[in-house]
Amino acid sequence: MEAEPEIAAVAKVARAMTLRRHHSMSDLTLESVPEVAEIIEDEVQDEAESEAIAELRKLLEERKTLAEVLERERKALKQENARSEMKARELERKLIVTEINEIKERSKRFRVEQSLMEKIHEKLGEIGILTEKIEKLEKALRNCEERARCMEWVAIGLRERVREAERAIGVAGLDGRRGSRCGGEEEELELPPWPVVVKGLGLAGAISAAVAAMIYFWFGRHKSRR
């Protein structure tokens, strides 16, 4: 529809040029004057239309150029938008990977802390058991020390009693024999050796064993002096 005026204008120009070629000024007749006048008028109109068409064509070219520029910008923006979307997806993927790694790291730290806490509780339990054992051993040691002191005092007391008894009844000699006087005659008594005395004694007889050891040692020393 928009090309029809241009086609009509081109047809008029072509017809006017044809009439100019066939009708010179000398060939003009009364019959041809109106037609020539109409052709001239059409030519004037055609020139105006041609100028308008030229302006329109110029405007069309400008708009076409502008459309091409806008199309190029649209394509550039589209490409930039595609690159931006790609970068956004890449950043989103990296963010997801980072979050997953952080979750794994937190889970790993939690498991390590849990394991350490279990080991700490286990060691604390072992420390408690060892502390109880140490307290029991210290208590047993104190009891042993008290028993040793008691044995020492008992040995001292028995030693004094032996000395008193020795002074009272006398000692004939030791080498596995102890003498006593009865009716003017000396009687020898066989004493059991020291290992036999100690043999079979347990913790309950520790004091008695220590006393026996002291007596055995004292008798041996007394014999060597004699």
Q: Which of the two residues, 183 and 152, has the higher pLDDT score?
A: 152
pTM surpassing 0.75? Answer: no
Which residues, including other chains, have CB under 8 Å from residue 46's CB and lie 6 or more apart? 9, 12, 13, 16
Q: What is the rounded CA–CA span in Å between residue 213 and residue 193?
A: 11
What pLDDT, on the 0 to 100 scale, is given for residue 37?
A: 57
Residue 201 has what DSSP assignment? Answer: -
Domain ranges in the chain are: 4-83, 143-225
- 178 pLDDT exceeds 50? no
Using an 8 Å Cβ cutoff, are 9 and 49 in contact? yes
Give the DSSP letter string of 131-153: HHHHHHHHHHHHHHHHHHHHHHH
> For residue 169, how many C-alpha atoms fall within 13 Å in the half-sphere facing its CB?
13
Q: What is the rounded CA–CA span in Å between residue 155 and residue 212?
A: 9
What pLDDT, on the 0 to 100 scale, is given for residue 96?
A: 92
- Give the CA-trace dihedral at 155, 158, 164, 166, to 10 degrees: -90
pLDDT category, 36, cuts 50, 70, 90?
low
**Phi, psi of 182, rounded to the nearest 5 degrees:** -135, 115
In this predicted model, what pLDDT tens digit does every residue of 5-33 receive, in sequence order? 555 555 555 555 555 544 444 444 545 55
Give the DSSP letter string of 148-191: HHHHHHHHHHHHHHHHHHHHHH-----SSEEEEEETTEEEEEEP
What pLDDT, on the 0 to 100 scale, is given for residue 226?
A: 52
Using an 8 Å Cβ cutoff, are 43 and 16 in contact? yes
What is the mean pLDDT of the segment spanning 153-169? 77
- 114 pLDDT exceeds 70? yes
Give the DSSP letter string of 61-130: HHHHHHHHHHHHHHHHHHHHHHHHHHHHHHHHHHHHHHHHHHHHHHHHHHHHHHHHHHHHHHHHHHHHHH
What is the mean pLDDT of the segment spanning 73-98? 91
